[in-house]
Structure 1
């Protein structure tokens, strides 16, 4: 298929783009908190968070901003994401989190298994309908490109890059797979967010007891309310220093530890331990949890998690900006394969969720801890209640740890299936 000529976007300056994204976020937040009947009805149907992804994607789809070459996602994922992880985990009550029990872990690993078996089954299903769709040879073999989706869907960007290095798909195929990855994952994200508003009905269908989730939410909310105060400039400066200071320290250590492991223990690469981004997430989360045992957790009362939430919504907007909805029609067949893959992941989650009577919260966060990692799981958890965001963070860390190994296994099975 001949490539269409690339037309320069209207806005190429990242400073202008960032201002535009924040303007969109402000409109969404302002209207979602409005008491006007129209907005109340609109947001009862359309989740606010979904708009925070979707509206920035339209800027790229209509060639207003340069979503492909913008550095805003890199900035948000490397600076704002670690800072928000620190600020969101600062007030975490780890003892209460452990009381959630084993169902959260079961749903997380069910999501992982769904991705590992879903890829090969999607290839088998597609080849039965149209064998040419999942064919190709050498670097253009479709299964090679699909391994990078597996890396992203079990862990995240670092695991995706690892699959690219291991299975070596062509750059052209890799770029298509990134688009399939982002768009299919965000469609599922949209469905999950719509489900948040129906979580009580879903829990009733599953016959699930969500009291442990409610208890944790209430505990953390009570703590936040008890220490709440009007923040001073000093409070805000200290909160910013905690978030960005820990981020700076995490970068310092990650820049040393990742190359050290790559040099002295390269076998650990399959667990993402040679990725600087992996260590950035691990260190930020761990230090944030550590600080939750100190008096610094009282800065939650001055709005620590609120600033963290601002950071994460900026990240959400930059993720949305990377999505060009129009590209679906360029590779409709591969999007169908990705859709089948995602459906297998979802069906397995619902079957296991029903069997073990897991609350919808565990299903949603367990899924996004795989498909989206630290950039999405806390956002989905926070959609239930802002105080639940740390649960998403902790599960996402598991995704990074198992992502490369699970994706590698998935890749080997897809290779075998593609050659049968």
Structure 2
């Protein structure tokens, strides 16, 4: 039940926020004047080094490495301590994320095919999670949706406040927000609608959102679990 409600809240809240971020793009000049920020779409970026074309061999190689990293992470997780909030599966995800971050700073990052296989595996993970959903207790959905909308509203207020304080432009705010809510799947699309030069920035921020999101999500869950038992 909790998984079903979480998936429903995530899908509806995320979809609503994507529409908002696309809709406010035309307000960028007024928003930037208010924050006294320079539009990030006008900032020149260094050209991205072209990679070799993706081939079947490169995709299969990345798939093999991904499966090897998953197996290694699962094996190492069996030796690590578990608790009520951190299970062996959680350790597996954290280890795999850490190993992926390490590989991203090696020459392997220049090898083609990573984005292709990562997108396919991301879709597979979402499909597996959805297939395990249990919609018993669907009547509790309004409460979950209210919580989701409230969190996004607080997020928006804090984002606007930080933009005014640190002089962020609307494009950077929108890309950063969706990077931590939508991830790699949607952030490049939003960035491209703002400016083609911001697509690499959107991808990097989305990857950072994945890395930080797991750790901070566990931290928040631990805090809320502690508060619920007191």
TM-score, normalised via structure 2 length: 0.69
- Please state how far the C-alpha of 1:377 moved relative to its aligned partner: 2.1
Please state if 1:396 is matched with 2:210: yes
Following superposition, the deviation at residue 240 of structure 1 comes to 0.7
Deviation string, structure 1 residues 220-240 (Cα, Å, up to 9, x no partner): 43x22xx6x6x4xxx503431
Looking at structure 2, the residues matched to 379 and 173 of structure 1 have their Cα atoms a distance apart, in angstroms, of 24
Among 347, 353, 356, the alignment partner of 2:163 is 353
CA contact (8 A) 1:272 1:400 kept: no
User: Aligned residue for 1:240?
Assistant: 59
CA contact 1:271–1:403 (8 Å) conserved in 2:
no
Which of the numbers 184, 189, 193 marks the counterpart of 1:378?
184
Q: Corresponding residue for 2:150?
A: 340
Distance 1:331 1:199, change over 3 A: same
Find the counterpart in structure 2 of residue 219 from structure 1: 46
Q: Is the 8 A contact 1:192 1:364 kept in 2?
A: yes
Deviation of 1:356 after TM superposition, in Å, equals 1.1
* Contact 2:32–2:169 (Cα < 8 Å) also in 1: yes
The answer to whether residue 93 in structure 2 is matched with residue 287 in structure 1 is no
1-structure distance, mates of 2:77, 2:157: 37
- Secondary structure (helix, strand or coil) at the match of 1:339 reads helix
Q: Which runs of 5+ in 1 are unaligned?
A: 1-171
In the comparison of the two structures, how many residue pairs are matched?
217
1:12-48 alpha-carbon deviations (Å, 9 max, x no partner): xxxxxxxxxxxxxxxxxxxxxxxxxxxxxxxxxxxxx
Please give the alpha-carbon distance, in whole angstroms, between the structure 2 residues aligned to 1:308 and 1:414: 40
- 2:12 aligned to which of 164, 167, 183: 183
Distance 2:216 2:119 in 1: 29
Query: Of the two, which has the highest radius of gyration?
Result: 1
Q: Does the aligned pair in 1 maintain the 2:63–2:117 contact within 8 Å? A: no
Asked if 1:406 is matched to 2:230, the reply is no
Instruction: Report the CA distance between 1:254 and its aligned residue.
Output: 0.9
Equivalent residue for 2:75?
256
Q: 1:330 to 1:348 in 2, by over 3 A?
A: same
Instruction: In structure 2, list runs of 5 or more residues that go unmatched.
Output: 193-198
Query: SS state of the match for residue 158, structure 2?
Result: helix
Q: Output aligned runs, 1:51-130, within 5 Å.
A: none
Q: CA RMSD in A?
A: 4.2
1:175 Cα deviation after fit:
3.6
The equivalences for 1:361-376 within 5 A come to 361-368=171-178, 370-371=180-181, 376=182
Q: Could you give the per-residue CA deviations for residues 247-301 of structure 1, whole angstroms, max 9, x where no partner exists? A: 1221121111112113xxx369659994322322332232133235xxx62x55x
User: Could you tell me how far apart the structure 2 residues matched to 1:213 and 1:412 are?
Assistant: 46
Query: How many angstroms apart in 1 are the aligned matches of 2:84 and 2:93?
Result: 15
Name the residue aligned to 2:196. none
Q: 3-state DSSP class of the match of 2:168?
A: coil
Note the 1:142-157 alignment, pairs <5 A.
none
